[in-house]
Structure 1
C-alpha cells in the first residue's frame, strides 16, 4: 500500500549555511506587506521584521520572520488594485526606516548637507508647481481656458 502524503526529509545540520539572495529577502518582504494589509501585523512589527529581512545574511535567518504568519494565504500573486495601499504603506515604512538609520549614523556635516538638499528639492518643486499652475490658468494668445 502506497502513501499519497509526501515525506519531508529533515535538513542536515552539518550542511553549510546558504547565503540569502535579494530575491529571498524580497519574498519575505512581500509576505510582510501582505500581512500588514490583512491586519495581521502592526506598522512597528513590519518595520522590525523588514529590518531583519534586510539584515539577513543566510536563508535560515528568513523563515523565523514569517513563521507566525499563514504564508500560503499571504503568498503574493498577481498585483491587484485592492492591494496597492498595503504595499505603499510598507514602502513608506521601509523608506522611513532607512532614512532614520541613515540620519542616526550621519555626521553633523552630512545632516546639514542632507537638509540643504531637501530644502532645495522643496524649493524646486514649489517653483515648478507654481509655474505649471500659472501656465494652466493664464490665457494664451488672447484665448481663455473656458473656450471664449
Structure 2
C-alpha cells in the first residue's frame, strides 16, 4: 500500500463535502499539474491519503481511500488529464496543521514541507505513521 496527500481549498471542496459522497466517493478532478497527475496514475485501489485543507486551515483533517484508479478526468476533453476517485474513511481526531508538521524535525523531508504547492503528493510510511500519531488518529 502507498500513502498520499490530497490538497483542497475547503471553500471549494472541503472534508464535509467529501464525507457526504459516502462509499461512492468522488473524482479528484481538475488537477492540471503533470507531477500531481503522475502521482494519481501511480495510485492503486485501497491506497490511503491524507485530506488536507489548503489556503485556509492549512491542516490535515481526514483520511481518504482510493476507490477508483486513474481514469479520464470528466472536467476536460483533453486526454492528458486523468484523476482517481477517493472516498472518506475517517476524520482526524485532532487536525494536524502545517505549522505542526514543519515544527517536527522527523518530517523535514516531507514533500508538503518542501513543495507545498503540489496538490497531490506522496507520503512515506514513516511520515504517515507519525502524522497519524500527531493527530491521535488510527493509521
Instruction: Determine which structure has more spread, i.e. the larger CA radius of gyration.
Output: 1
TM-score range, shorter chain: under 0.3
Q: Which TM-score applies when normalising by structure 2?
A: 0.25
Which structure features the higher share of helix residues? Answer: 1
